[in-house]
Structure 1
Amino acid sequence: MFEGFTSHTIPVGNGIEIAAYVGGEGPPLLLLHGYPQTRACWRKIAGPLAKKFTVVAADLRGYGESCKPPGGGNHETYSKRAMAADQVALMRALGFPRFRLVGHDRGARVAHRLALDRADAVERLALLDICPTDTMYAATDKAFATAYYHWFFLIQPADFPERMIVNNTHRYIRHTIASWCHTDGAFDERILRHYVESFFDPMAVHATCEDYRAGATIDLAHDAESDAAGRKLTMPLLVLWGERGIVGKTFDVLAEWRKKSAAEVTGRALDCGHFLPEEAPEETLEALLSFL
């Protein structure tokens, strides 16, 4: 899926190894995927981006071919702060102490935390199809809870959601992708099989549940601390969202991110659902190239 890229598995500390594809030439660019996906979500635009950048498409901790440590306790193992630190260490190991950063979905939440904690490392930031986590939880109503039921299902105590998913992985992953995608033909059978098979490992299912449990607990605490301290994003920010998705229908995306940023915020809706790089690759690529 990533012709001309090389595959790496790199130790980033604390026994964690992060898997990544690396390709291209030019300024470094880190791409972080969402749920229930892997770095393969960038397959349609990574090649064109690699003509102008050194592209690093990484699997988040707990996803794809990256390490999947057990969670539990206060879910700190899968806090966005811990997951972001993995990616900073990955980029440093590759020789890139400073880089451009693009995240989609869960990867965008990791990217947001990374940019807050390590502003020195991020030149420009693009966040795809999210609003701030605390904003989205605070606005929960029947419509949001229905559309984003997984936010409340996956945070249930272990190992209830894990067992439910493991017992019918094919149906769960395919249903999830179909529910959030609003573009015919965006996912072929090969990529659907890849995403399903990435969840055949029970530790992957557990890790991704822990990602969401952290999002509802320790991540909110970290966000509250940042807000109380007046910490805001300091680098140029691009936000893109799917016009047919729940984020665009529910929130004033630009307004919400301007509350979190001290720098310029630009962005727009694309004619698609949740999976921008796969549903609207040409438009996503155009917007990213112009901004980056």
Structure 2
Amino acid sequence: MFEGFSTADIETAGARIHLRHGGSGPPLLLLHGNPATHLSWHRIADRLAERYTVVAADLRGYGDSIGPRDGGARHEHYSFRAMAQDQVEVMRALGFDSFYVAGHDRGGRTVHRMCLDHPGRVRKAAILDILPSQHVWTHVDKKWATDAWHWTFMIQPEPFPERLMGSVPADWFMRHKLSKNGRGLDFFPKEVFDEYVRCFNEKTIHASCEDYRACASIDLEMDTADIQAGNKVAAPLLVLWGRHGGVGAAGDVLSIWQERAALPVVGGATESGHYVPEEDPESTYRWFVRFFQD
């Protein structure tokens, strides 16, 4: 995994971001989801590095990245705006003023905000296995509340979810969280799963709860304001989702994202559940190679 990659820790205005980078060619930033780290791209990072300069980064507070302990009065320090700003600064520090970007889960929400806040930076964007946050919060039903229980649990005031999540062994929690879609854990190599467990500490638990609190408050306000103002993703947009996950069952994925994009949205379902790049790396790789072309 990540053969020939270098590791780095880059200080941004609000965080210290841990990452790996390697390869050559156009820059491609890869962002992970909750409760994972940049290792979620381990099945395709080496192959992508044959075509691109790949940067796989931990979001602030996740993995080995460090964000502020104080999430802010309105959780703004863990908003997707703050997370997107981190990654723009990271890419600039590495010498890239514009770049391709792909994000899964929380990384995908960071990519969405990055496209809106930094349209001149994003050449093309790929978003994996999510629907827009504002759409999610305004289309809640019993099935979603049952399947996505952590959304409403983790937004509860500190320290309630932090104390409960930290009161059980990290290995136990991760096994139950990562397998909640019923597809097991076989697609997570032991060394990757062990890293997810290692990084699931007090720092990450608090940061991830702040991330979810921000999503339900300040992020929702920003998303709603963008919709009302008619602001849309200007960059070409690829959307992928797992055929056996909950996103595809929630509606017409491409049509929902098309409402948020200025250009025609492309994409489709992969033979996976939620963890698209780890469950179906071959399809993910093929989509990326076709899409990220000048």
TM band (smaller chain): over 0.9
Q: Does 1:186 align with 2:187?
A: yes
Matched residue type, 2:280: A
Counterpart of 1:60?
A: 59
Alignment of 1:236-255 (within 5 A): 236-255=236-255
Task: Report deviation, 1:24.
Answer: 0.3
Q: Does the 8 Å CA contact 1:78/1:214 hold for their aligned counterparts?
A: yes
The code of the aligned residue for 2:41 comes to W
- Unpaired runs of 5+ residues, structure 1, are none
Q: What displacement does 1:232 show?
A: 0.3
What's the % identity of the aligned pairs? 47
Determine if contact 1:7/1:19 at 8 Å carries over to the other structure: yes
2:165 aligns with: 165
Q: CA deviation digits over 1:180-225, x for unaligned, max 9? A: 363662112222111111012x121100000000000000011011
Matched with 1:133 is: 133
Equivalence map 1:185-204=2 (5 Å): 185-200=186-201, 202-204=202-204
Which amino acid counterpart does residue 81 of structure 1 have in structure 2? Answer: R
Shift of 1:103: 0.3
Measure how far apart 1:271 and its partner are. 1.2
TM-score (norm: length of structure 1) = 0.97
- 2:103 — aligned with what? 103
Partner of 1:37: 36
Q: Is this contact kept in 2: 1:98–1:122, CA < 8 A? A: yes
Q: Is the 8 A contact 1:233 1:261 kept in 2?
A: yes
Task: Spell out the pairing of 1:12-161 with structure 2 (5 A cutoff).
Answer: 12-14=12-14, 16-70=15-69, 71-161=71-161
Give CA deviations for 1:127-158 in whole Å, capped at 9, x if unaligned: 00001001111111100000000000100110
CA RMSD of aligned residues (A): 1.1
- How many Å separate the matches in 1 of 2:184 and 2:50? 27
Distance in 1, Cα, partners of 2:276 & 2:64: 22
Worse-matched range after superposition: 100-109 or 179-188: 179-188
**Offset, 1:72:** 4.4
- Work out the CA distance in 2 between the residues paired with 1:77 and 1:268: 33
Q: Is the 8 A contact 2:178 2:185 kept in 1?
A: no
Distance, in Å, in 1 between the alignment partners of 2:162 and 2:222 is 26
Which ranges of structure 2 fall in alignment gaps of 5 or more residues?
A: none
Structure-2 residue corresponding to 1:176: 177
Q: Provide the C-alpha distance between the structure 1 equivalents of 2:173 and 2:137, rounded to a whole number of angstroms.
A: 23
The residue identity in structure 2 corresponding to 1:179 is K
The reply on whether 1:5 has 2:5 as its aligned counterpart is yes
Where does structure 1 differ by over 3 angstroms across 4 or more consecutive aligned residues? none
Question: Could you tell me how far apart the structure 1 residues matched to 2:72 and 2:167 are?
Answer: 21
- Specify the SS of the correspondent of 1:119: coil
- CA offsets per residue over residues 67-118 of structure 1, 9 Å max, x none? 1312142000001001100000000000000000100000000000001000
**Structure 2-normalised TM-score?**
0.96
Higher mean C-alpha displacement, 179-188 vs 23-32:
179-188
For the residue of structure 1 that corresponds to 2:18, the secondary structure is strand
Aligned length: 290
| Aligned-pair CA distance for 1:264 | 1.8
Residues 183/176 of structure 1: CA separation in 2 closer, same or farther (3 Å cut): closer
